[in-house]
Chains A and B, each alone.
Chain A
Amino acid sequence: MYRYDQFDQRVVDERVAQFRDQTRRYLAGELSDDDFRPLRLMNGLYIQKHAPMLRIAIPYGQLSTRQLRTLAHIARKYDRGYGHFTTRQNMQLNWPQLPQVPDILSELARVEMHAIQTSGNCVRNVTSDHFAGVAGDETVDPRPYAELIRQWSTFHPEFAYLPRKFKIAVTGATNDRAAILVHDIGLQLLVGERGEVGLRVAVGGGLGRTPIIGHVIREFVPRAEILNYLDAILRVYNRYGRRDNKFKARIKILVKERTPAVFAKDVEAEWEQIRGGPATVPGEEFERLAGFFVPPRYESLPKDDATYRSALQDNRPFANWAQRNLHPHKVPGYMIVTVSLKKTGVPPGDVTSDQMDAIAHLADRYSFGELRVSHEQNLVLTDVKQGDLLSLWQQLKALGLATPNIGLLTNIVCCPGGDFCSLANAKSIPIAEAIQRRFDDLDYLHDIGDLDLNISGCMNACGHHHVGHIGVLGVDKSGSEWYQVSIGGTQGDRAAIGKVIGPSFAASDMADVVTRLIETYVDIRHEDERFVDTVHRVGIDPFKERVYAAAD
């Protein structure tokens, strides 16, 4: 993975010093709440219901075991012994004390981490495919490009005060696992006819109050030009994006108001002026960055490990886990392991300090000392030998981290919601738990098959409910908490926004509502048809009728 040099380290160290001084001035009364707010937000610090919340960046999801141990230590020392992984490859701490935040940042800086631009109206932490570098469907490893963008976006002086937050995701695989079409900019790496690398650029995607799928404005930007092209997009947005209304300030509104074609022309005109300029990236820089992401020393192994094969036959619980939590690896004899942070009764994405230490130990032992954080709020060990899987599974199981539910209904993507977040209209964690408890029969869950269930506690959509096959949105109706349900959303390269099935429900009805949706699906599905495919085939009406008939 990428390692800081002295330059990178100095940037982060200077940020710690700057934020320490800003915090001091705020606590001394030299900065007002209004002055301090944008400054602390640009450092991932919110003032929440109970305490400040600190959002730590895990750029493009790459994490070393040393860094994970530091997160465990920080959560233990400055918080309540746990952290929460978000849908944008960040970790949130829910209970730090403001005066201690500079010390936390200082501890993070020692392991090449930071909280830079994890919030605020600026370019946020860049995200990517959690299977980058190991997936069989990868055309170009996105990590060097994500690192280039991380550096470009870090304290970009022209774009520090944008109209609104700005999220960039990059993928280099055929199957989009980075949800690039619901980002302000989504970048797809491609190889051109002569072997040259370039990027397809989509803009204006996003969830939130106005969910929109991104529009491709250029099919192929040569990689050398990518920063010029990003500068051009951001400049057009910075100058013309709306600043009069917070709810219309995202780039998607500008793209929509101008039309994607006109917006694309504006970007092209700006790009024409800076094309070939100082921000053009030389080939050597790409090579230098790629040098940080060379494959680990894989052993030469047979495609199938005999002990693994026999364990699959003899051990049903292991086989269940293998079926859901393993993905094929591009190197023979290795598998990608997803560590589920979706155990029933534990808030989705939460992990304790002790678990973090234990996972770090397992990653050191079985996966070259590196991990990934997925946007579905799980951890990934990317390089595990088949022969080690049984032993790894046994240890994960003992830690409560082997729930065999990746891709299943109980792998719920969920924001912290009203239990923690001051923006939320409604709680989300108890809804997740009620649904998980209802679907506790593993055979039934596996029979239901692939299903993304996403819950957001408000229309800011941190739980990405719009792209859930089943999406749940917390809404406020005259002071009480209600839940709106949509179905048919999808993430990935065929991203689609779900359709709302009708009036919202009380919290106590939610497990029943999901049950009715699933029963409808089970009754009318065709063979090998996923829930979402059935919804797309028959529309929402059969689901709607069953759910509301039961309610009458």
Chain B
Amino acid sequence: MQRLIKGQAIVDDAYVLVRAASSLADVPQGVPVIVPLGLWIANRDTLRARAAVGVWLAPAEDPFALAEDLASLPVIAVDFPAFTDGRGYSSARLLRERLGYKGELRAVGDVQRDQLYYLSQVGFDAYAIAEGRDIDAALSGLRDFSDGYQATNARTPWFRRRDAQGPSA
């Protein structure tokens, strides 16, 4: 079974990521699946009746298209066709902070160690490390930095915490 970084640990992952599917016939049954947004929108009612169906978003796809579905989706995956394509970082923050999504938010595609810290700060909590990359080594990327300045999904900005908990000059 494929492995996934979930939270801070490596776990087995049962989900099948269906990248290309022109119709429901292309979607395997009886296993947890993550389907493309277009397929989900066209077959919402059917898919909702099945257990464990998630949706993945391409970088240009609008997270607001899922606004009505968030409560019922166990997982949303955001695709990074190349790790240098940073649109998914904004998608993640919008899903978490604007739309209040609480389920698993998974980074898929060209997901590598050196991006994990950033990904963890914008709301991702699961990382499907790209094929051919060492997932065990990648795990440490989550700890590249212990804190940061900005307001993110994971923290308030440092200037709001400085007095409460901070080391001073």
Physical interaction between A and B: yes
- Identify the closest chain A residue to B158 (Cβ): A7
Determine whether B118 belongs to the interface, using a CB cutoff of 8 Å to chain A.
yes
List 7 tightest A-B contacts by C-beta distance, closest first. A161-B86, A157-B121, A6-B167, A278-B151, A279-B151, A5-B169, A157-B118
Is A160 touching B87 in the complex (CB atoms < 8 A)?
no
State which of B112, B121, B168 has its C-beta within 8 Å of the C-beta of A5.
B168
In angstroms, Cα B37 to Cα A250, docked, is 29
A15 to B117, CA, bound (A): 12
A156 at the interface (CB under 8 A from B): yes
- Which of A18, A39, A151, A156 contacts B158, CB < 8 Å? A151
Q: Does B160 contact A (CB under 8 A)?
A: yes
Stretch in contact with the other chain, from B17-25, B66-74, B100-108, B142-150: B142-150
Nearest Cβ distance between residue B146 and chain A, in whole angstroms? Answer: 7
In the complex, what residues of A have CB within 8 A of residue B98's CB? Answer: 273
Chain B interface SS verdict (over half): loop
Contacting residues, chain B, for A157 (C-beta < 8 A): 89, 117-119, 121-122, 148, 150, 152
Interface pair B145/A279, CB less than 8 Å apart: no
CB neighbors of A among B90-135 (8 A): 90-91, 93, 98, 112, 114-115, 117-119, 121-122
B156 contacts A by Cβ under 8 Å: yes
A114: shortest Cβ distance to chain B, in Å?
13
Residue pair A278, B160 in contact (C-beta under 8 Å): yes
Q: Which residue of B lies closest to A10 (CB)?
A: B146
Contacting A281 at CB < 8 Å: which of B89, B119, B159?
B159
The size of the chain B interface, using a CB distance under 8 A, is 37
The 8 Å CB contact of B144, one of A18, A154, A243, is: A18
A10 / chain B contacts, CB cutoff of 8 Å: 146-147
Do the beta carbons of B147 and A238 come within 8 Å of each other?
no
Distance, CA A278 to CA B96, complexed state (A):
14
Map CB proximity to B onto A158-188 as digits: 1 under 8 Å, 0 otherwise: 1111100000000000000000000000000
- Interface size class of chain A, counting residues whose CB lies under 8 Å from the partner chain: 35 or more
A162 adjacent to B86 (CB under 8 Å): yes
Residue of A whose beta carbon sits closest to that of B89: A158
- Tell me the bound Cα distance from A238 to B144 in angstroms: 23
Contacts A5-B168, A7-B167 given; does A238 touch B89 at CB 8 Å: yes
Inter-chain contacts of B2 with A (CB < 8 A) = none
Shortest beta-carbon distance from A5 to chain B in Å: 4
- Nearest Cβ distance between residue B62 and chain A, in whole angstroms? 9
- Cβ of B136 under 8 Å from chain A: no
- Nearest chain-A residue to B169 (Cβ)? A5
Q: Which residues of A contact B83 (CB under 8 A)?
A: 38, 161
Q: Is A476 an interface residue (CB 8 A)?
A: no
A144–B152 CA distance with the chains assembled, in angstroms: 22
Q: Which residue of A lies closest to B154 (CB)?
A: A157
A161:B159 contact, CB within 8 angstroms:
no
Given A7-B166, A278-B156, A14–B89 Cβ distance below 8 Å?
no
A229 to chain B, nearest CB (A): 13
Contacts of A38 in B (CB 8 A): 83-84
A534 → B minimal CB distance (Å): 47
Q: Is the CB of A152 within 8 A of B169?
A: no
Within the complex, what minimum Cβ distance (angstroms) separates B111 from chain A? Answer: 12
Contacts of A279 in B (CB 8 A): 150-151, 157
Additional A-B contacts beyond A3-B169, A6-B168, A161-B83 (8; CB < 8 A):
A11-B147, A157-B118, A158-B86, A158-B118, A161-B86, A162-B86, A239-B91, A278-B151
- Contacts A39-B114, A243-B85, A278-B160 given; indicate if A155 touches B148 (C-beta within 8 A): yes
For A352, list chain B residues within 8 Å (CB).
none
**Chain A residues in 8 Å Cβ range of B166:** 5, 7
Complex contact A278–B157 (CB within 8 A)? yes
Instruction: Establish whether residues B147 and A159, one from each chain, have CB atoms under 8 Å apart when the complex forms.
Output: no
Q: Which residues of B contact A405 (CB under 8 A)?
A: none
12 A-B pairs (CB sep. < 8 Å):
A14-B146, A15-B145, A18-B145, A152-B150, A159-B89, A160-B89, A161-B85, A227-B150, A239-B91, A243-B85, A278-B156, A282-B159
A121 CB–B CB distance under 8 Å: yes
> When each residue 251-282 of chain A gets 1 if its CB lies under 8 Å from chain B and 0 otherwise, what string results?
00000000000000000000001000111011
A151 CB contacts on chain B under 8 angstroms: 149, 158-159
A235-B90, A238-B86, A243-B85 known; A154+B118 contact, CB < 8 A: no
CB distance from B34 to the nearest CB of A (A): 22
A6 partner residues in chain B, CB cutoff 8 A: 167-169
How far is the CB of B133 from the nearest CB of chain A, in Å? 9
Interface string of A1-33 (1 = CB under 8 A from B): 001011100110011001000100000000000
